[in-house]
Amino acid sequence: MVSSSAMAKPPFASRLHLVWVFCIAIISSLAVSTSFAELQRLEHAAKRDDGSLSFLVVGDWGRRGLYNQSKVALQMGRIGEQLDIDFVVSTGDNFYGHGLKNVNDPAFLESFKNIYTAKSLQKQWYSVLGNHDYRGNIEAQLSPALRKIDSRWFCQRSFIVNAGIAEFFFVDTTPFVNKYLVDKDHNYDWRGVSPRATYLSDLLQDLKQALNKSSAKWKIVVGHHAIRSAGHHGDTPELISLLLPMLKAYNVDMYMNGHDHCLEHISSVDNPIQYLTSGAGSKAWRGDIKRYNNRAMKFYHDGQGFMSVKLAGSDAEIAFYDVLGRVLYTWKASKQLHSTM
């Protein structure tokens, strides 16, 4: 018989995986027994008679204008005007490298208010939090006091925006990721998240209810971390385990994220979900691209830029732009075509 002291310890990754399997079991059991509140819901009225929408998506931007943030902002203003956008979506990592210190942190002015100054960008910004935001004072970034400084700012952990033909489900993805819990190099502000298993269980249950109720033509989920990516960080296994099955079950059309500092379109090979990474609002050019399924990978740009989305009835049109505002890639889809895509 082998004594426990003589048994080899499993490698760290395996132990982490075991912990995560245990967590999933707890989360699943909690999902059955706990009662839930609804996610905060906002109504964004379409401004066009036909109900069509257009918006920009940018992520990983807040660097006081550096790393070409200002150049990307300038082009967002130009394209935003061309498309007469309704709003802007921020996919998180809003303020580098450690979020905001407090509501009076000058980074809010230097990285947001004084950077995105174009007339066309004076619209509502719907933002999620990224892992770098969690390294600062999370309550500051969520505080309504910021909206007194700049009324465009709207950032919550998880929330819903109903914009008529499209419903947006913003999801706080940082608490899903195991490695931040054992990250000894950085502090994370987990206020409002602990205990984590309950937080994730409630969030998933709320999201499930909201997706189930949605009758919008287009269902779009936004989070900071990629479900699928060939970039430096790659796929997020925790989101593949816990979030993706729900997205498939409730016919979500698109998942939009940042985190990897690139522009990227990955298509599903067995369902209609499109994975769109727009995390190139400032620092980019990492030069670290993983091999990926050729059938799924549609587009990858290892550089700065942003994305635009137009939705009109059953039709969607996506475009990616580089730091000079040049169109790098476009993709069009029609809901009726999903069965053949």
Q: Could you tell me the smallest distance in angstroms from the CB atom of residue 30 to Zn ion?
A: 27
Catalytic residue among 225, 233, 265, 301: 233
Rank residues 77 and 279 by Cβ distance to Zn ion and give the closer one. 279
Query: Rule CB under 5 A: which of 257-296 touch Zn ion?
Result: 259
Residues 6+ away with beta carbon under 8 Å from 41 = 159, 160, 161, 162, 210
- How many H helices and E strands in the chain? 8, 15
Rank residues 44 and 259 by Cβ distance to Zn ion and give the closer one. 259
Q: Could you tell me the smallest distance in angstroms from the CB atom of residue 180 to Zn ion?
A: 10
Give the Cα separation of 295 and 298 in Å (integer).
8
Residue 73 CB-density burial (10 A; 0-12 exposed, 13-18 middle, 19+ buried): buried
Based on the residue annotation, tell me whether 233 is a catalytic residue of this protein.
yes
Give the Cα separation of 322 and 77 in Å (integer).
13
Q: Residue 52: what residue type?
A: S
Structure tokens, 289:
């691209």
Q: Buried (b) or exposed (e) across 262-291, using 16+ Cβ within 10 A?
A: bbbbbbbeeebbbbbbbbbbbbbeeeebee
Q: Could you tell me the smallest distance in angstroms from the CB atom of residue 332 to Zn ion?
A: 29
Q: Could you tell me the smallest distance in angstroms from the CB atom of residue 92 to Zn ion?
A: 6
255 labelled as ligand-binding?
no
Give the Cα separation of 124 and 86 in Å (integer).
8
Rank residues 131 and 229 by Cβ distance to Zn ion and give the closer one. 131
Q: Could you tell me the smallest distance in angstroms from the CB atom of residue 131 to Zn ion?
A: 4
Give the Cα separation of 303 and 322 in Å (integer).
7
131 labelled as ligand-binding?
yes
- Over the window 105 to 134, marking each residue x when it contacts Zn ion by CB under 5 A and - when it does not, the resulting string is -------------------------xx---
212 labelled as ligand-binding?
no
Rank residues 107 and 333 by Cβ distance to Zn ion and give the closer one. 107
Q: Residue 314: what residue type?
A: S
* 36, 151, 170, 204, 268 from 31: Cα distances, Å: 9, 36, 20, 8, 28
17 labelled as ligand-binding?
no
Query: Rule CB under 5 A: which of 35-94 touch Zn ion?
Result: 93
Rank residues 44 and 283 by Cβ distance to Zn ion and give the closer one. 283
49 labelled as ligand-binding?
no
Assess contact for 62 and 224: CB atoms under 8 A.
Answer: no
For position 152 contacting Zn ion by CB under 5 A, the verdict is no
Residue with the closest Cβ to Zn ion?
A: 259
Contacts with Zn ion, residue ranges (CB under 5 A): 93, 130-131, 259
Q: Which residues are annotated as a binding site for Fe cation?
A: 60, 93, 96, 131, 224, 259, 261
Task: Cite the active site residues.
Answer: 233
